[in-house]
Structure formats: structure tokens, C-alpha cells
């Protein structure tokens, strides 16, 4: 069942007399209990999209449905009540500096009119969930970035939302802290079944935590599907750039005088076979390894390599055919220079 359904959504802004289309004809369906990634480069429109989900940004066209309820049909009071079911965390934490940790977590409960004793009991349960029960009297200035984000997560969960929106929630954190926050979000998803939407520009975040992903590029959704599916065989230029990086299409190819460049993905049994070594030995053709990496996708190790092949078409095609017959996903990396 779809918890979030976005239909033909378009959002425009007027900037100095000009119309800027931030989002154009977005269609997206997110199922209950998903950890869904929305990824794109800076300026792609992903933050506008996440703010449209809770109607902080109202679309010019199209609709947003939460559990089948069209947000455009709600009165302001009904919309506020719906927003209470949608928690949100941000890159900048947005904690109240004059309140201690437990005061920050209690704040949305106070706004909802929850009795003080009940609110503090709920806040303590949440601080235990995010592993900060010993910090309830501390103030934000006394916390690390990771601890601040844990407080923000606890605060976002205070009203028992069905959906948690994470807008670049780990972008300000170091890699180790990022991993700990992503692990925490996975634990929360598994323990209480909350649907999580992750907005990010980092493919590593998506591969670490998400089940499904949508690629946003210049306000349009260019690709969507399972994380494994898109990582293995990206169809759009935006997805390929987010996965492998822009530079691989230019500098390494030029330096090695390689005209044909391919990306291979290996998993399952192919990860344990010396496929490249076998290809070189059997075919007698040179292969340059331009890049190699391994990602954790859904608890499985999935590797990728960017390879430079011989300049002549026949030897290159021979290698590609061999790699495909060996069970590898093979896509060509286009050099646009």
C-alpha cells in the first residue's frame, strides 16, 4: 500500500520576474515501511520535493496524497494535523539552543498539548531509543554533531509520525558519524515500521540504507527503481554520474588514450571468480582498470569497475561479450568530450 503518492507534481517559483520550474511532472509512489531515497546533485529540486510531501511547498500542478488523502483538499487545521504525522530532520539540526536535550524533544509534544509528565516520559523513551538517555540535561552547545542529529531524530519521532523525512540529514557529519546515524535510522525503521524518505546527493547514503531510489535531475525524475537495479544498470546520465562520478568520463580516459570505456558490476558468484584475469588470458587482449569500488547494497557486497578497452572495435566487443557471458552487468561509459 502506498503511504505517499505524488501525481504529476509541478512546482514553479517567480524570481525577479522570471518563472523558474523547480519540479516538473513528478510521479512517485512510496510504500509503507520503505526507506526511500531521493537523490540528485545540488539544485536538482530534491529539497523542494521533500517540502512538497508535507505541503510546506504547495505545488502549482498535481497532487500529493498521504494514505490516500489529497493534501490540497484539506483545510489549514486539517493540514496541520496531517503534518503532525510527518516528522522531519535537517542538515542543520535546528535545535533550540536555550533548551536542554529533553526540552527539545518535549517541544512538539508541548505544542500538541500533551501533559508535561506524559511528554517527559515519552521524551525519555525516545532518548533511550537514540542512545542519548545520559544527555537529557545537556544543552545543544555541549553536544557533538552526531549527538545533535540524534536529538533531532528523537524530536521528530515525538508525535508518533508515520513518515520521517530526512533532508540531507548526514551531509554535515563525518563519515563515521554518518554511518552511525544511518544505522540508527535503519534500526528505527525495523523496530517501529516508520516509512523513511531520505533526501541526499550522496550515492553512498542511498546504497547504505535505502530499499528504493528516485533520481532527480534539473527538476525532473529521470529514473526510479530498486537501489540494486539502478546501481547495477543505470539508464540515465544523472544516475551514472552519481554512481561513478563525472571525472571518470574524462581525465582517466584521456590520460590512458582509451577510446572505449565500460562499467562492469559484479555480485553473487561473479564476485568470487577471477573474470578479468580469465578474459585477459583467454582472449589475449589488454584491459585497463580505471576505477574499482565496492558498495554494501541491501547487506550484499556489490562491486563496480570502470575498464578501458582496446581502441579497435572487434577486440573491445569480444571482451564485452565475454564479460556478459560470465554473468556481469556491462554498460558503456560515454566520453562526451
State the CATH number of the domain containing residue 105: 3.40.50.300
**131 and 72: one domain?**
yes
User: What's the mean pLDDT when you consider all of the chain?
Assistant: 86
CA distances from 278 to 29, 68, 268, 282, 322 (A): 43, 54, 18, 6, 10
pLDDT for the residue 334: 62
264 domain residue, yes or no: yes
pTM: 0.83
State the CATH number of the domain containing residue 288: 3.30.70.260
**154 and 229: one domain?**
yes
Q: How many domains does the chain have?
A: 2
**219 and 259: one domain?**
no
pLDDT for the residue 272: 58
Separation CA 24–CA 99 (nearest Å) = 41
- Three-state DSSP at 33 gives coil
pLDDT for the residue 269: 57
Separation CA 35–CA 43 (nearest Å) = 23
Pick from 202, 233, 264: which residue ends a domain? 233
- Three-state DSSP at 52 gives helix
**96 and 196: one domain?**
yes
Cell numbers describing residue 48? 523542494
Pick from 213, 233, 253: which residue ends a domain? 233
240 domain residue, yes or no: no
301 domain residue, yes or no: yes
Tell me the residue range of the domain where 251 lies: 245-333
**257 and 128: one domain?**
no
Are 52 and 64 contacting, i.e. CB atoms less than 8 angstroms apart? yes
**57 and 91: one domain?**
yes
Pick from 189, 210, 233: which residue ends a domain? 233
- Give residue-wise pLDDT tens across range 141-182: 999 999 999 999 999 999 999 999 999 888 888 889 999 999
In three-state form (DSSP H/G/I as H, E/B as E, the rest C), the secondary structure along 210-233 is: CCEEEEEECCEEEEEEEHHHHHHC
Sites in the chain below the pLDDT cut of 70: 245-259, 268-272, 334-337
**96 and 31: one domain?**
yes
Q: Name the phi and psi angles at 102, rounded to 5.
A: -65, -30
pLDDT for the residue 253: 44
- Three-state DSSP at 7 gives strand
pLDDT for the residue 248: 44
Burial of 23: CB neighbours in 10 Å, binned 0-12, 13-18, 19+: buried
- Give residue-wise pLDDT tens across range 252-298: 444 445 568 888 887 765 555 778 888 888 888 888 888 887 777 77
Among candidate residues 288, 273, 274, 279, the one with its CA nearest the CA of residue 321: 279
239 domain residue, yes or no: no
100 domain residue, yes or no: yes
Cell numbers describing residue 162? 508515520
Separation CA 46–CA 23 (nearest Å) = 9
**105 and 147: one domain?**
yes
Amino acid at each position: 500500500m502506498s503511504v505517499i503518492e505524488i501525481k504529476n507534481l509541478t512546482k514553479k517559483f517567480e524570481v525577479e520576474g522570471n518563472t523558474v520550474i523547480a519540479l516538473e511532472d513528478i510521479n512517485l509512489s512510496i510504500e509503507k515501511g520503505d526507506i526511500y531515497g531521493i537523490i540528485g546533485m545540488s539544485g536538482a529540486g530534491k529539497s523542494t520535493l521533500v517540502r512538497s510531501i508535507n505541503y510546506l511547498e504547495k505545488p502549482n500542478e498535481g497532487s500529493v496524497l498521504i494514505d490516500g488523502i489529497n493534501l490540497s483538499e484539506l483545510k489549514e487545521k486539517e493540514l496541520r494535523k496531517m503534518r503532525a504525522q510527518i516528522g522531519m530532520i535537517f542538515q542543520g539540526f535546528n535545535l533550540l539552543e536555550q533548551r536542554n536535550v529533553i526540552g527539545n524533544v518535549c517541544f512538539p509534544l508541548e505544542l500538541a498539548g500533551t501533559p508535561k509528565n506524559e511528554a517527559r516520559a515519552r521524551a525519555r523513551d525516545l532518548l533511550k531509543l537514540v542512545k542519548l538517555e545520559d544527555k537529557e540535561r545537556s544543552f545543544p552547545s555541549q553536544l557533538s554533531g552526531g549527538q545533535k542529529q540524534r536529538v533531532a531524530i528523537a524530536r521528530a519521532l515525538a508525535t508518533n509520525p508515520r513518515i520521517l523525512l530526512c533532508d540531507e540529514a548526514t551531509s554535515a557529519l563525518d563519515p563515521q558519524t554518518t554511518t552511525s546515524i544511518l544505522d540508527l535510522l535503519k534500526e528505527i525503521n525495523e523496530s517501529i515500521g516508520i516509512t523513511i524518505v531520505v533526501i541526499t546527493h550522496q550515492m553512498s547514503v542511498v546504497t547504505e540504507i535505502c530499499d528504493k531510489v528516485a533520481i532527480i535531475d534539473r527538476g525532473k525524475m529521470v529514473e526510479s527503481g530498486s537501489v540494486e537495479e539502478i546501481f547495477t544498470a543505470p539508464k540515465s546520465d544523472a544516475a551514472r554520474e552519481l554512481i561513478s562520478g563525472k571525472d571518470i568520463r574524462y581525465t582517466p580516459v584521456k590520460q590512458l588514450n582509451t577510446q572505449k570505456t565500460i562499467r562492469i558490476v559484479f555480485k553473487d558468484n561473479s564476485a568470487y571468480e577471477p573474470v578479468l584475469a580469465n578474459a585477459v588470458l583467454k582472449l589475449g587482449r589488454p584491459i585497463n582498470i580505471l576505477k574499482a569500488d565496492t558498495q554494501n547494497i541491501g547487506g550484499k557486497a556489490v562491486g563496480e569497475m570502470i575498464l578501458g578497452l582496446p581502441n579497435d572495435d572487434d577486440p573491445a566487443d569480444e571482451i564485452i561479450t565475454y564479460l556478459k557471458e560470465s554473468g556481469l552487468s556491462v554498460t558503456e561509459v560515454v566520453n562526451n568530450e
